[in-house]
Chain A
């Protein structure tokens, strides 16, 4: 028994060793694709990837291979060829050093052959024409050989056997052709010789990959310097941010210019641009994108009227989600009663102390409002006292939160009521009251409108605050008050990130409290999820202290184009622009500019989408039809007929199919084409006992997948879940009935009957079956192999064949 067990053990160990050995041997099988087909000018790998190669730089009798003045960025140019949906470009460069002695021998031989050939040609032409023709080609070659020899002899450079191959991969032959055309474009513009190695594509492809193989026709000899310049060790493409906010298109290559706000220390911006530079348009674009993509709140404050830019219509576009606040006396304009305590539903106020703190800040804000009227400290104290008294008379007690928390706007006192208290006190000879009465006399004349109750709400996602209607004498105070309202957010947490945009901000820089508000936003905003975009016309609008603030705290700088020449110097100094940046800036027109992030400056065209154009600049009327009537986007509009079915495949949805999760449940089903599984989303109540329409979910899913394939190929289909064939597909007057069969669903005789019946009705019939069931159904005693196809890759091939046969 011991011997037997030992023998068994030895055999097991030998088997393991053999298996390991085999696995090592089989490395080649592991890495090789399942099927490689080599054709004259391309390879087809696994029936889905087309590959071809271009051999680069080989000198011929009439071409030098590479030109002598090849730019050093030649390989970068090839690497920068844009990969498309159709093709991908790969570069391979190999160099193998040749020992100096061998290199010199080769050169000696070459020089000898050169001399012999030259003499031969001269002799033959003498014999033929009577004149000895001397070709300069041999002289240049001799010079090259001498130069190379010198470099190697002096040990300054090495000689290498090298090969440069460009590989193009594509999903189709058309893609391959497009790729070749792009590659040839770059090679020809650099006068580089190139050749497609017909009949030797496979060898060339393998030689391009990281194997130590070479192909003789791609081999050339080059010096170290040339090798260094051609190696693909530099990637010219700065990878754009994968995700983020789209600012516009890079002027250099028209690709989207994106900044990921989450990677910035704070999303503070400074935008500088003169009148008519497109500054407000870009601000509106950022507002729309930031709101829709990032879900941020935006408060846009402008002291200038809406004229060329229809910024008010941006707010109108968003309907209930936006609020346009036009403060002023004119009819239809709104008002903020400064005495009303503004409670923002987006602020998280947890308890009474939070509310009391809010009230205290409100009193401070009112003091700031009056401070614009040159109040003294005594007057400030008096204002607070009189305010408390006024609120008391209206039953508003600061510490009794319930007396004001949910109060209607009209139940608040207004400024003229405050003046009444001051009048009372003035009669008692209170100097502060007399001073305040003198300073606020207009409250009963031109400022009267401010005595109306507040009729705005500050809880919208987009607030456009137009202060241009405020009388000039009150504008500063109102600016202070409005920005003060924004500042109140600093003292409470916000449920949403907020971005305050201040257009034409130079007005703000002329007033101390307003400047303080800007400084506070830039320095502390981040802690409260608040960011600011400050705009002004010229760098010189900003004083030195504020310049420092912006330089240290603004992480995105936008310099709009169409700059007046006298502003160049100021911009150059303020943004530390180098010579190239200035050149770019000078070429930027309206709607273009430079964007500076982390010290990198990029020229950007602030291109609007069609809808943005309509909304910001044009006459937007209604939401246009977006093709999203189903609440998600289909990968192919031709799939729409299938949406009447009870199941939706994940593969049909562009983007994340989880959007269906609201009222659908996902089930995994086998892919009808190819390998693996996919998801089908079905409304839960449609599934009973694991079945939908009396079919298994697998059956149902397979039929839908085949249906989708046929629709995308242009077939007209009819899906039947009860009688008849599962799918009847028609194209160009050809019809085929497709029936999916699972093991055990029908007996052999039933299948034969079904086949005959469908053949009689439709002519052509095919039974799609799982792989495991194929041998049973394909048997000649059942429906036969000519009428049976296994699900997976075979089905894909079969369907492609049917389409080829049927298509016009």
Chain B
């Protein structure tokens, strides 16, 4: 199992990334060296004091927030978040928020009648609801190569494959409700109710919370300047995808109805 950061490979000096050494050096010049120079050159005591404070503050800030690549990255994210919060972009009431900003958050543009979804930046995709097997012939050792050859390797650039497996609480009748239903049946004798109550008490400690798994697969088709071109790309991909579903025994149903697509996204978002 390999996972590498090939796009973020950095030259290192003393084992530290070059970009962090460069940023630290620039910070040193701007926040420490310049005020230090001013401290030396200034005649006024007040200015000297101020420069001293700035230099001390800058060094403290560096020690606390920038003294390692990890700290630097975390500080950058924190600053970005603070700016975002200051602009009021961390609280998003959908009815009063500008659509353009809403799309920055939830990148959905349009849902076309044939089930093609347009995302921001002219990206297009299609959504599938998957029903995956719980037991596979030959176990996972045989199933994974099937997934690789029939799903993963069938996706070609600029396409994207994303699978999102989510759980939802459901109110479906389960054995707990069944026991409760039996308890609430007025024809039961006190002995029966007492027994069912003991079954209920054992169940609530052991039974899994009733949930339903929803597995969605997004096939990102790529960036196109019109929906027709996206449709063409989909037409070319579908036979291969359907073949992949059949060979892996994963059931994939394309979500075509715009309302169902909206429902799927609503379900995922909340």
Contacts and interface: CB of A to CB of B under 8 A. Distances in A.
Interface of A: 24-40, 45-46, 49, 57-61, 64-70, 72-73, 76, 79, 82-85, 88-99, 106-107, 109-110, 113-114, 116-117, 120-121, 124-125, 135, 144, 147-148, 158-162, 167, 197-200, 202, 206, 208-213, 217, 219-229, 231-244, 246, 249, 254-256, 258, 288-289, 291-293, 317-319, 321, 607, 609-612, 615, 623-624, 626-628, 631-633, 653-656, 658-659, 662
Nearest to B165: A232
Interface in B253-268: 258, 262, 264-266, 268
Interface in B178-215: 178-186, 188-203, 206-211, 213, 215
Contact of A212 (B74, B184, B218): B218
Given A35-B92, A243-B175, A293-B178, A227 B123 contact: no
Contacts of B84: 38
A88 B213 CA distance: 10
A250 B15 CA distance: 52
Contacts of A628: 183, 193, 197
A159 B95 CA distance: 42
Given A39-B90, A206-B105, A209-B269, A92 B134 contact: no
Interface stretch (B25-33, B34-42, B53-61, B139-147): B139-147
B81 A626 contact: no
B191 A319 contact: yes
B6 A106 contact: yes
A611 B192 CA distance: 11
Nearest to A210: B218
Contacts of B189: 318-319, 321
B163 A232 contact: yes
A148 B2 contact: yes
Interface stretch (B43-51, B148-156, B235-243): B148-156
Interface of B: 1-7, 9-15, 70, 73-74, 77-78, 80-81, 84, 90-95, 99, 102-103, 105-111, 119, 123, 125, 127, 130, 132-136, 140-141, 143-145, 147-148, 151-153, 155-169, 172-175, 177-186, 188-203, 206-211, 213, 215-218, 220, 248, 250, 258, 262, 264-266, 268-270
Given A210-B218, A226-B1, A28 B109 contact: yes
5 contacts: A25-B110, A26-B99, A210-B265, A291-B192, A659-B184
B160 A40 contact: no
B143 A211 contact: no
A85 B209 contact: yes
A610 B201 CA distance: 9
A243 B176 CA distance: 8
Nearest to B264: A210
Contacts of A232: 132, 163, 165, 215
A94 B207 CA distance: 32
B13 A120 contact: yes
Contacts of A198: 74, 77-78
A256 B175 contact: yes
A34 B94 contact: yes
Given A233-B250, A256-B175, A655-B183, A95 B3 contact: no
Nearest to B3: A65
Given A109-B9, A167-B166, A234 B133 contact: yes
A37 B193 CA distance: 46
B151 A233 contact: yes
A91 B94 contact: no
A92 B184 contact: no
Given A121-B12, A235-B165, 17 more contacts: A27-B258, A33-B269, A34-B94, A40-B81, A57-B3, A58-B5, A72-B144, A85-B209, A95-B162, A110-B6, A162-B3, A200-B77, A206-B105, A210-B162, A210-B164, A238-B135, A256-B175
Given A210-B265, A229-B144, A59 B182 contact: no
Given A235-B134, A238-B135, A89 B162 contact: no
B208 A213 contact: no
A228 B151 contact: yes
Contacts of A29: 94-95, 99, 102
The 4 closest A-B pairs by CB, nearest first: A655-B180, A228-B148, A611-B198, A210-B218
A633 B81 contact: no
B2 to A, nearest CB: 6
A656 B5 contact: no
B41 to A, nearest CB: 33
Best-buried of B162, B190, B203 by chain A (most CB within 10 Å): B162
A91 B4 contact: no
Contact of A84 (B188, B209, B220): B209
A124 B11 CA distance: 13
Given A120-B12, A233-B147, A317-B191, A221 B186 contact: no
Nearest to B145: A228
Consensus secondary structure, chain B interface: mixed
A232 to B, nearest CB: 4
Contact of B133 (A219, A235, A241): A235
A199 B92 contact: no
B210 to A, nearest CB: 8
A27 B264 CA distance: 12
B79 to A, nearest CB: 9
B155 A95 contact: yes
Contacts of B190: 623
A58 B3 CA distance: 7
A167 B201 CA distance: 31
Contacts of A114: 9
Contacts of A66: 1-3
Contact of A116 (B11, B94, B103): B11
A497 to B, nearest CB: 15
B119 A32 contact: no
Contacts of A221: 3-7
A616 to B, nearest CB: 11
B94 A33 contact: yes
Nearest to A88: B167
B81 A94 contact: no
Contact of A227 (B7, B148, B166): B148
B266 A224 contact: no
B150 to A, nearest CB: 9
B194 A626 contact: yes
A88 B212 CA distance: 11
Nearest to B203: A256
Contacts of B6: 106-107, 109-110, 159, 221
Contact of A655 (B9, B133, B177, B265): B177
B80 A199 contact: yes
A24 B108 contact: no
Contact of B152 (A61, A160, A289, A317): A160
Given A72-B144, A144-B2, A211-B108, A231 B163 contact: yes
A246 B108 contact: no
Nearest to B267: A31
A28 to B, nearest CB: 5
Contact of A121 (B14, B133, B210, B213): B14
Contact of B220 (A57, A96, A208): A96
Contacts of B174: 242-243
A208 B196 CA distance: 43
A305 to B, nearest CB: 25
A34 B140 CA distance: 41
Nearest to A89: B167
Given A226-B3, A318-B189, A623-B194, A607 B164 contact: no
B7 A219 contact: yes
Nearest to B156: A97
Nearest to B12: A117
A220 B3 contact: yes
B14 A124 contact: yes
B162 A92 contact: yes
A211 B107 contact: yes
A258 B180 CA distance: 16
B173 to A, nearest CB: 6
Given A210-B164, A211-B107, A224-B153, A656 B180 contact: yes
